[in-house]
Structure 1
């Protein structure tokens, strides 16, 4: 559809940003709902982030997503922070309201929504969280708030302890990750291990409980080596693309005034873009 002078504008800010699938995702929703608006990839150097964010407000943008490496800078530039972003300690969604920048974090809620879309109850049993970065914090807090007992396991014990203190849970040494699977109902890879161009995640599933659900937030490739190994063992899996789709819902709703639906058609559109 054609844009008019009333078009609402949003985008994703990153450096680089060409890899982001968010423009394809939001573009599909804009087309589906016939919205007079656009969602743009915005390549912004780290040194320019704060000035560009403020410029977008003055240019009339409705808001923006924030991706690597700007999430800490986004937290700092906000005039107001939602409770969810405060708990997660990071911002991935900006909303511009009457000249004010409001920061939110939708990673945790997106992850929980993706679990439930796969028929997985996040509170069904203990969850083992692999990693201690920003995504791990958001997901760990969301799992804890959903009723799960969380255990953090990270290659750096110091970072694992720090995150466990934030969540209010226990932590394990990285060497204990394989044996710990026997005592958990869910394991979540929040690291970049297994992503295209990165080393694989070294995790043996031989001691996994029969009912273990294996989740991976990596979505390039769509089926990581971890998920493939889990399927060979007959374990339930939850891929990372669904989290990307679900975490985008609150921002789109705030910017364009329509709460979009995550469904099989949307999944196929974005998955096809990834495969291409």
Structure 2
């Protein structure tokens, strides 16, 4: 006989994770007898953690956050094709026979709040992505698949170029130094009608306890959508400055909830409640 099914989120640090609130809310709404925890796992303890959980029939899997998204890949028995392509795993699922399968739900989770705009026909799509970590890999792959020309900015442009070469097939993407965006520009943007521009902070800059993100909005084409994946604080200085400059914004909770939706289906075999009222209640809980 087994006990209560459970999943969890792992990382180091992990106390700040909002994932237990999200999954707990959905389990409660659906009346599912299961739980979702958080677990501190160090780099040195990652292999032992997976070995122990693999032997636990109640464990449905885990979400994976910093610093394990790349390190956990060789410890999987199988990789979902999208995770293999991105080169990062943020969701591990234990199958009934103990097989561990690695998925990446960051990519579809990131795209979720952009669905309406992506359903439109555009003459051209361009994304300026700031950061070259594990989350950026998923975002680059997701936007490249949606026809975006990518400008990837990092502290090491060579690393950014290598990431573009690895994750995209087109040759018209660009890798630049992150510092390029810190200073004003007098570049005259052309008519952006029927174009879709996205500016994404995919770095930890601006997160609580991290240095601020230096970005001058003279680099943002008119009508750009500004997206920050940072969740603490929810309303970052980057988003505040974007709104003051007249740009529509998307906060990090949108991606966090979107990727959790896909993970929840894997863990608990159910569709989370995502109607407007439920999402509003969930956001209120996360922002409390």
Asked if the contact 2:130/2:203 (under 8 Å) is kept, the reply is yes
1:76 is paired with a residue whose SS is: helix
1:155 and 1:41, CA in 2 relative to 1: closer, same or farther beyond 3 A? Answer: same
Corresponding position of 2:20: 23
Greater mean alpha carbon deviation, residues 82-91 or residues 9-18: 9-18
Asked if the contact 1:217/1:243 (under 8 Å) is kept, the reply is yes
2:85 is paired with a residue whose SS is: helix
The gaps in structure 1 that reach 5 residues or longer are none
Deviations 1:122-164 (A, max 9, x none): 8842111111111111100010112212121112112111112
Asked if the contact 2:29/2:273 (under 8 Å) is kept, the reply is no
Q: Distance in 2 between matches of 1:189 and 1:266?
A: 27
Residue 266 of structure 1, CA deviation: 4.8
Q: Distance in 2 between matches of 1:261 and 1:271?
A: 13
Q: Distance in 1 between matches of 2:222 and 2:153?
A: 21
Residue 104 of structure 1, CA deviation: 0.5
Q: Distance in 2 between matches of 1:11 and 1:132?
A: 26
Corresponding position of 1:113: 112
1:240 aligns with one of 236, 252, 258: 252
Asked if the contact 2:88/2:134 (under 8 Å) is kept, the reply is yes
2:90 aligns with one of 92, 95, 107: 92
Residue 95 of structure 1, CA deviation: 0.6
Residue 115 of structure 1, CA deviation: 2.1
Q: Distance in 2 between matches of 1:54 and 1:266?
A: 36
Residue 14 of structure 1, CA deviation: 1.7
Deviations 1:75-117 (A, max 9, x none): 121000011111111111001111110000111110001222x
Deviations 1:206-237 (A, max 9, x none): 34322111111111111111111111121111
1:108 and 1:181, CA in 2 relative to 1: closer, same or farther beyond 3 A? Answer: farther
1:265 and 1:5, CA in 2 relative to 1: closer, same or farther beyond 3 A? Answer: farther
Q: Distance in 2 between matches of 1:131 and 1:149?
A: 16
Residue 272 of structure 1, CA deviation: 4.3
Q: Distance in 2 between matches of 1:19 and 1:269?
A: 20
- RMSD of aligned residue pairs (Cα, Å): 2.3
Deviations 1:154-188 (A, max 9, x none): 12112111112123332223343364894771111
Asked if the contact 2:200/2:227 (under 8 Å) is kept, the reply is yes
1:19 and 1:174, CA in 2 relative to 1: closer, same or farther beyond 3 A? Answer: closer
1:49 and 1:175, CA in 2 relative to 1: closer, same or farther beyond 3 A? Answer: closer
Q: Distance in 1 between matches of 2:148 and 2:20?
A: 33
Asked if the contact 2:202/2:228 (under 8 Å) is kept, the reply is yes
After TM superposition, list the pairs within 5 Å mapping 1:250-269 onto structure 2: 250-269=262-281
2:7 is paired with a residue whose SS is: strand
Corresponding position of 1:176: 180
TM-score normalised by the chain length of structure 2: 0.86
1:227 is paired with a residue whose SS is: helix
Asked if the contact 2:130/2:152 (under 8 Å) is kept, the reply is yes
Corresponding position of 2:193: none
- The number of equivalent residue pairs is 271
